Chain A
Amino acid sequence: MKKIATLILAAGWALTAMAQNVPLKGTVQDSAGEPIIGAFVVQQGTANGSMTDVNGDFSLVTPPGAAIEVSCIGYATQVIINNGEQNLVVVLADDTQMLEETVVIGYGVQKKSVVTASIAKVDADALGVTAPTRVDNALKGLTAGVTVTASSGQPGASSRIRIRGTGSINSSDPIYIVDGMPISGGIDYLNPSDIESIEVLKDAASGAVYGTRAANGVVLVTTKKGSRGKAQIDYNFSYGLSSPWKEREVLNASEYALLINEGLVNSGAAPRYADPYSYGTGTNWQKEVFNYNAPQQTHEVSISGASDAVNYYLSLGYTDQQGIVGGNFGRSFYKRLTLRSNTGFTLWDASSERNFLNKMVLSNQLSYARVSSKGVAENSQWGSPLGSALALSPILGVYATDDQIAEYNTIYAGEKLVTDADGRVFMIPGGNFNEMVNPIASLSLPANDNWSHKIVGAFSGELQVWDNIKLHSTFSLDMSFWGNSGYTPLFYLSSNNRAGTTNVNAQYEKGLVWQVENYLTWNKDFGKHSVSLLLGQSALENSSDGLYGMRRDLAEEWYEKPYIGNAPNNTDDPDKQGANGWKNAPYRLASYFARADWNYDERYMAQVTFRRDGSSRFGANKKWGNFPSFSLGWNLHKEPYLTVPAWLSNAKVRFSWGVNGSDAFEAFRYTTLTAKDNNYILGTGENIAQGVKSSGLANPDLHWERSIQTNLGVDLGFWHNALTLGIDLYNKTTDGMLLQMPTPSYVGESSPWGNGGKMVNRGVELEASYKWGQGDWNFRLGGNATYLYNRLISMGNESGFNNYDSFQGAGTMTRGENGYPFPFFYGYKTDGVFQNQNEIDAYVNKDGEKIMPDAVPGDVRFVDVNGDGVFNDDDRTYIGNGMPDWTFGLNFSAGWKGFDFYMLWQSTVGNDILDVTRRTDISESNMPSYMLGRWTGEGTSNKYPRLVRGDNVNWQMSDLYVQDGSYLRLKNIQLGYTLPARLTQTVLVKSLRVYVAAENLLTLTGYRGYDPEISSGGTSLGVDYGVYPLPRTLLCGLNLKF
């Protein structure tokens, strides 16, 4: 109460003070005497201020004696007192602190100004804005060269991260190193707000210090530490609602009946539906399947601080997210609890007394994460909920009619039909829809509970040995426990999707990774020469094992408690229960590494790195691999011999070259071992006899996949780095890619693994940012653009290609082939639709023979691509690929007094999508609405062919399935307001910010599917089987600091 009174009094004083204001005029200059344009001149603690003009001049009216803050990005802020002067000259010193920005480079940090490699940094501020659920999502759109694709809208789904493209036909995933520890199984255990910074090591020179595993880039994550001062408590909260933002256009019931009739008639059969229009619009299966307003919430609390001896950071995070498909059935959710304790202790600090053994610091990072989730099948041609929703006839209802129930009682006698909670029987679509079942019935069945616990701890010591030599020793552990449990009740969805006996099962797995690292660092300046050396050793082991158990015949009264112990123990019937267990061979890696940095006056820089790795995945012949690299840099703006204009505040040229490796594949491929379970049934009792054979064919010379990369970069800063530009060009060649060597199938054994393939990635990365302000306004605009060129040079086999995925009814659809992007869509090219017989007759080869003699009017005209005069399999060719040529990110932030605004746009250009959501082999399947525009007679359509049931001629894999996947998306938009400190401080709150935000608010794309971001990676890159789309999420939240 008293405080409020004081506030009112203070406000009153401010009003009266205005009356006696005096003007202040002057110029702002830098140390060289050049005027500074756009510097802020603001009366402290108020919104009263102005900006310098093109001459650096300003004027401001304030009460006499008021403190005035003069600031500009790139300079140290200065405070002056208004003494009424009219020609004041304010000289702002360069802000050296800003230039001292550091970058984490692996086993150390480096000043950004002397970095010679290509490293992208995303700091906590940038990460904090978007409040992502998962760390990998947070990188999206923020840096050039890092392509992040949401793998799915399923809560908790990991993102696919590609650093500088698809590096290999094998795993192209980068390695994640969190606080020095390589993390297997993804980094979703991290609470995003615990992260201090993420550095992405893009070129080979920066990655070389992680030699073996750096071929696809390195993501270094550094978690927060407490900073000096009294305890700071942060609490963040957000709540949001997610909904699908798009439905695919499919036929309604009347249209469906019409087109099915037409298909029947065109196939010479009688129409089925006497009065198509009587069915009205029918069931909108997509609406039935989607879950609207799926809630999500996040809580994060952290406490941090530091004194001379101790620094600490403690945090607790909880996030809970429901999915937009199946979330309302408890079938799609993600819950994560995280705990973290990062502490550091200075055991002794005698650096002022002696220069040997004078300081010892111990630190640890300890984190725990528990995740529990359930998920539905996604992006599958074999009957995922959304796939079924698109395929089922809209004439069918969600629930069975009384007539249908009567029919089911005879057809499905003895089967357990699926019902909802009220006992209503779900409709059964029957065999006409193949794998597509009633999605609502399917969602009503229980799903596996997936769970995981992960504990990651790093314990390290840093001892100053002598002079500037430090010894760092770290012991890290990553313990994870994961598994799932579930049960199958009796159910009947279709003849291929039913359970005649119940089954309750559970699987437990555990993994342990330990790593020991010891390294020495030495930094020394000799005059203008600055040298730092690193020499170290690392050893790592990753081991895991698991156990599985199952029992059948769980009684219905135990469905609520579906645990193995509650099912009968039929010890004498091996079909009624089962167990399995496994212990995987450990993966071990031993490494030695060294790095030398030198710079002269921060003008000339050079770095040399060498790593030697030994991996247990190779035989004695090829255990060890060497990974050298070097990089050079030149800061032109520091060159005294060059006259650099004052507005050019930074100009750096960088060059790097290096070799990285990859051993990301299974153990023992270099040798042959026994292989169990090659069994045969023998005996009158039909017993399974154990059969053992050799595991394959050995290749003792199997060795590392190797990537060689050169990088040329230029960094520019203008007007004291208010405007910055960065350009990187690179060329990355991966060779010795692991693949199964081509051997004749008559060898009688799967082919041995060998090093054969070669791939190249080239790219351009551009980054720019500009900061400016005006009055109370401040703005920042940042953008990045990535161009990527990817080619498979050699598949490593005789034929020069491999066919990969195929689509039911349409044949092969993805392929890798020498000289093409990897992978690409493979099929026929089309050239419209034959309108009449004359066009078919006129479509002839050079000998006058018809190229498509069997065609009838309304059929697709396929292009005789190879020009051999006949249309056949050999005419299949490149028809698109899923990797964008260009990827863009654009972020804009603005602030005005307590308000802040942020938005992030994201865009890809040049990627194609293969839309295979329609199974043409299922005659009864519903169809997309574009089929309304099919050919029905001359001149009706030159794109979509006539409708025939089970049409596998016109709908062979072709460019008719391919669509442009380019898009522009408003990924994130946010408006926040920080309450005035004088208000919040009265309740002991340092600051309180509230915000509203939206994710995926707006997407501009020509793609007809749910989402142009297609999850499938690997060989089905860009193939849309019916993705689980990203939701549109509306969020509100608050950030509270005590």
Chain B
Amino acid sequence: MRKLYIIAVSAIAALATSCSSDFLTVESNSQTFLEDYFTTEPHLQEALVAAYDPLEWFDWTNQYSPVNIMSDIMADQIWVGGSDKTDNAHWHLMMNYEAVPTNTLSSLISDCYSGVKRCNDVMTYITWVPDLPADIAASVEAQARVLRAFYYNILWKFWGNIPYYEVNLTGDLTCPQFTADEVYGKFIADLEGAIALNALPMKREGEETGRVTLAMAYMLYAEAVLYQNDESRFGKALDFLKEIISSGKYALLSDYGEIFKESGEWGSESIFEIDYKTTGGQRYWSWVRGAGGTVLPRLISPHSWSGSDGHDGGWGFAPVRKETFDMFDASDARRAATCWVIDPADSEKYNHRYQDTGIFLEKYAAYKANTDSEGDADLRFNNNLRYYRYAETLLYAAELVVRGAGSGDAADWLNQVHGRSLKGQSVSLSLDNIKEERRLEFVGEGKRYWDLVRWGDAASVLVPDSYGYRTNSWTPSKKYLPFPQSLMDSTEGKTYELKQNNY
């Protein structure tokens, strides 16, 4: 009996003292080491999906910064709104060209660089997959590189002189900063390289819808080249656009109003959209990076709207300027599709917030049908963000022709767009008419501000208004936003210190 206990006790003691480092090495039950995981094609494809993921964050990560609205508040067609000037204060400051490092756009920077980092990772993982078929490798690489250029394009337009890297950072995790021209040179070359891989289809169908296409890469190219006014590449840009037009894969929708309806998503006019969905969405305030809905319609709809026309309420941001409504001809189909004018009789059905005009942006207005009440309802709107439309392809191409990039049926391209909304009407081909067409066509789509800057019209157009909302004029130094102070602080004393933009 006693022996038994002695044996038992000694056994326990022996067992327990045999603790080795094996005991302290535990494995995750839900995660794998990267080197073990990204070694098959399906896993590589998952890494690629993750590189698309940040596209959906722009409307909200740590800040509300829907990229279209962030552009348009700096232009002349919408106000900022909200409860007052401190509600999303950085928007109000940007609108009046007085952004400060302690209160400026910041989450857009980390969103875009998250995309860059993930694209770079995809480029690494391609080399980890043994026996990866060449066509798949090229397709994955082309998507990753076009996406990377897409993210850099946004950073470059908003901040200009940014850190640029194509291999992820190590060491003290800082990166050299380049001038805006250098950044342009780098990412446009990368984009050209991606296009040259010849691995992208002009248009995608079915399950592939939503991925990068050749048309999307071309549009990105044209946008960057035109914003840089890089005449050396105008010809190439025009060729690309003409390739889209001649492919016959894209066409204008006959009804402008259809573009922004649920039924218009990925319609024949859509070259690139950022996807959002309601049912089965995984996006919550606690997991904003989940794939799901968008908050944009909530942001820009009238506060506490209680009308029964199918619209849903919101927070009263981005009211459309009265002048924007007035610029449309009454017969222009774009007027009603752009401006949701609240009937004066319904004026009491919502809270009039700051800079209220009684007009809201119909293109992305909240509709009860576009969301449901599950989860975090505000973050569940299914409205895709229309990023590149075929209408812009036509107008870019027409502009390039007018600006001497080459030949093409520019008058027809312009009038396809013009005549779609103003039935039976046409205009003559001129740069001014193209500018006017873009002004009418893209309200609320984040184009106008960049157009004014690249045309050299910003300083004359973006001036104080008669309402006293914008008191400062745009100057060339306002082209690049200040970097957030926290970003400045985080590179202090490190290998590459970031230099603040002269805003």
Chain A residues proximal to chain B, CB less than 8 Å: 347-348, 357, 360, 410-411, 413, 430-432, 461, 463, 471, 473, 475, 495-496, 498-501, 503, 516-518, 537, 539, 545, 574-575, 582-590, 614-616, 620, 623, 667-668, 671-695, 697, 742-749, 797-799, 809, 873, 921, 923, 950, 952-953
Q: Which 3 A-B pairs have the closest CB atoms?
A: A748-B117, A431-B304, A691-B50
A516–B16 CB distance below 8 A: yes
Known: A590-B19, A798-B493. A745 touches B304 (CB 8 A): no
- The A-contacting residues of B in range 283-298, CB under 8 angstroms, are 287, 289-291
Alpha-carbon separation in the docked complex, A503 to B372 (Å): 14
Contact check: which of B276, B374, B487 meets A744 at CB < 8 Å?
B487
- The A-contacting residues of B in range 102-138, CB under 8 angstroms, are 102-103, 106, 109-110, 113-118, 120-121
Task: Report which residue of B49, B52, B110, B313 has the largest number of chain A beta carbons within 10 angstroms of its beta carbon.
Answer: B49
Known: A431-B303, A746-B175. A463 touches B12 (CB 8 A): no
Known: A585-B28, A952-B84. A697 touches B47 (CB 8 A): no
Q: List 29 A-B contacts (CB under 8 A).
A: A461-B5, A498-B373, A501-B372, A516-B15, A516-B16, A518-B13, A584-B29, A588-B26, A589-B24, A616-B26, A674-B37, A678-B50, A678-B118, A679-B49, A679-B290, A680-B53, A682-B52, A683-B206, A688-B277, A690-B49, A693-B118, A693-B121, A694-B121, A744-B491, A745-B487, A746-B113, A798-B492, A799-B486, A953-B86
Question: For residue B373, which residues in chain A have a CB less than 8 angstroms away from its CB?
Answer: 498-501
Contact check: which of A500, A585, A685, A798 meets B490 at CB < 8 Å?
A798
B49–A678 CB distance below 8 A: yes
Residue of B nearest to A698 (CB): B34
Alpha-carbon separation in the docked complex, A487 to B195 (Å): 52
Contact check: which of A518, A586, A743 meets B173 at CB < 8 Å?
A743
B304–A432 CB distance below 8 A: yes
B280–A688 CB distance below 8 A: yes
CB B217 to nearest CB in A, in angstroms, measures: 17
Alpha-carbon separation in the docked complex, A659 to B48 (Å): 47
CB B248 to nearest CB in A, in angstroms, measures: 20
A743–B289 CB distance below 8 A: no
Task: Report which residue of A431, A471, A575, A667 has the largest number of chain B beta carbons within 10 angstroms of its beta carbon.
Answer: A431
CB B168 to nearest CB in A, in angstroms, measures: 7
Known: A680-B49, A689-B49. A742 touches B29 (CB 8 A): no
B2–A357 CB distance below 8 A: yes
Alpha-carbon separation in the docked complex, A523 to B290 (Å): 61
Residue of A nearest to B281 (CB): A688
B490–A743 CB distance below 8 A: yes
A677–B46 CB distance below 8 A: no
Task: Report which residue of A348, A517, A747, A923 has the largest number of chain B beta carbons within 10 angstroms of its beta carbon.
Answer: A747
B109–A430 CB distance below 8 A: no
Known: A357-B2, A539-B19, A682-B211. A744 touches B174 (CB 8 A): yes
Question: For residue B287, which residues in chain A have a CB less than 8 angstroms away from its CB?
Answer: 677
Alpha-carbon separation in the docked complex, A495 to B380 (Å): 13
Interface assignment of B427: CB less than 8 Å from any CB of chain A:
no
Question: For residue A584, which residues in chain B have a CB less than 8 angstroms away from its CB?
Answer: 29
Contact check: which of B21, B33, B173, B282 meets A747 at CB < 8 Å?
B173
Known: A410-B308, A667-B26. A690 touches B46 (CB 8 A): yes
A693–B47 CB distance below 8 A: yes
Residue of A nearest to B277 (CB): A686
CB B117 to nearest CB in A, in angstroms, measures: 3
Interface assignment of B210: CB less than 8 Å from any CB of chain A:
yes
Contact check: which of A347, A587, A748, A797 meets B168 at CB < 8 Å?
A748
Alpha-carbon separation in the docked complex, A380 to B110 (Å): 29
Interface assignment of B6: CB less than 8 Å from any CB of chain A:
yes
B26–A683 CB distance below 8 A: no
Contact check: which of A430, A589, A953 meets B306 at CB < 8 Å?
A430
A748–B490 CB distance below 8 A: no
Question: For residue A691, which residues in chain B have a CB less than 8 angstroms away from its CB?
Answer: 46-53, 291
A695–B312 CB distance below 8 A: no
A411–B46 CB distance below 8 A: no
Known: A539-B19, A798-B493. A475 touches B12 (CB 8 A): yes
B280–A749 CB distance below 8 A: no
CB A250 to nearest CB in B, in angstroms, measures: 22
CB-CB contacts of B456-499 with A at 8 A, as 1s and 0s?
Answer: 00000000000000000000000000001011011111000010
Alpha-carbon separation in the docked complex, A503 to B17 (Å): 51
Alpha-carbon separation in the docked complex, A500 to B2 (Å): 69
Alpha-carbon separation in the docked complex, A495 to B53 (Å): 29
Question: For residue A623, which residues in chain B have a CB less than 8 angstroms away from its CB?
Answer: 21, 24
Contact check: which of A348, A672, A684, A953 meets B209 at CB < 8 Å?
A684
Residue of A nearest to B376 (CB): A496
- Please name 7 further chain A to chain B contacts, defined as beta carbons within 8 Å, in addition to the given A680-B55, A689-B291, A697-B173, sorted by A numbering: A430-B304, A498-B373, A674-B33, A677-B282, A683-B206, A684-B209, A694-B121
Residue of A nearest to B366 (CB): A495
Task: Report which residue of A503, A673, A693 has the largest number of chain B beta carbons within 10 angstroms of its beta carbon.
Answer: A693
A688–B282 CB distance below 8 A: yes
A746–B313 CB distance below 8 A: no
Alpha-carbon separation in the docked complex, A8 to B487 (Å): 90
Question: For residue A585, which residues in chain B have a CB less than 8 angstroms away from its CB?
Answer: 26-29
CB B1 to nearest CB in A, in angstroms, measures: 8
Question: For residue A495, which residues in chain B have a CB less than 8 angstroms away from its CB?
Answer: 304, 312-313, 377
Question: For residue B52, which residues in chain A have a CB less than 8 angstroms away from its CB?
Answer: 680, 682, 691
Interface assignment of B357: CB less than 8 Å from any CB of chain A:
no
Alpha-carbon separation in the docked complex, A212 to B56 (Å): 42
B110–A745 CB distance below 8 A: yes
B208–A677 CB distance below 8 A: no
Contact check: which of A614, A616, A673 meets B32 at CB < 8 Å?
A673
Interface assignment of B454: CB less than 8 Å from any CB of chain A:
no
Question: For residue B34, which residues in chain A have a CB less than 8 angstroms away from its CB?
Answer: 672-674, 694
CB A697 to nearest CB in B, in angstroms, measures: 7
Question: For residue B117, which residues in chain A have a CB less than 8 angstroms away from its CB?
Answer: 747-749
Question: For residue B86, which residues in chain A have a CB less than 8 angstroms away from its CB?
Answer: 809, 952-953
Alpha-carbon separation in the docked complex, A498 to B306 (Å): 15
CB B5 to nearest CB in A, in angstroms, measures: 6
B210–A681 CB distance below 8 A: yes
Interface assignment of B83: CB less than 8 Å from any CB of chain A:
yes
A682–B12 CB distance below 8 A: no
A692–B266 CB distance below 8 A: no
Alpha-carbon separation in the docked complex, A500 to B491 (Å): 48
- The A-contacting residues of B in range 3-39, CB under 8 angstroms, are 5-6, 9, 12-13, 15-17, 19, 21, 23-34, 37
CB B428 to nearest CB in A, in angstroms, measures: 39
CB A804 to nearest CB in B, in angstroms, measures: 14
Question: For residue A615, which residues in chain B have a CB less than 8 angstroms away from its CB?
Answer: 24
Interface assignment of B249: CB less than 8 Å from any CB of chain A:
no
A673–B31 CB distance below 8 A: yes
CB A180 to nearest CB in B, in angstroms, measures: 14
Interface assignment of B441: CB less than 8 Å from any CB of chain A:
no
Interface assignment of B141: CB less than 8 Å from any CB of chain A:
no
Alpha-carbon separation in the docked complex, A582 to B30 (Å): 8
Interface assignment of B378: CB less than 8 Å from any CB of chain A:
yes
Question: For residue B377, which residues in chain A have a CB less than 8 angstroms away from its CB?
Answer: 495-496, 498
Question: For residue A357, which residues in chain B have a CB less than 8 angstroms away from its CB?
Answer: 2, 6
B28–A745 CB distance below 8 A: no
CB B108 to nearest CB in A, in angstroms, measures: 10
Residue of A nearest to B373 (CB): A500
- The A-contacting residues of B in range 66-122, CB under 8 angstroms, are 83-84, 86-87, 102-103, 106, 109-110, 113-118, 120-121
B275–A692 CB distance below 8 A: no
B162–A746 CB distance below 8 A: yes
Interface assignment of B279: CB less than 8 Å from any CB of chain A:
yes
Contact check: which of A496, A679, A748 meets B378 at CB < 8 Å?
A496
CB-CB contacts of B129-155 with A at 8 A, as 1s and 0s?
Answer: 000000000000000000000000000
A683–B2 CB distance below 8 A: no
A583–B29 CB distance below 8 A: yes
Alpha-carbon separation in the docked complex, A691 to B48 (Å): 7
Contact check: which of B5, B30, B206 meets A583 at CB < 8 Å?
B30
Residue of A nearest to B291 (CB): A679
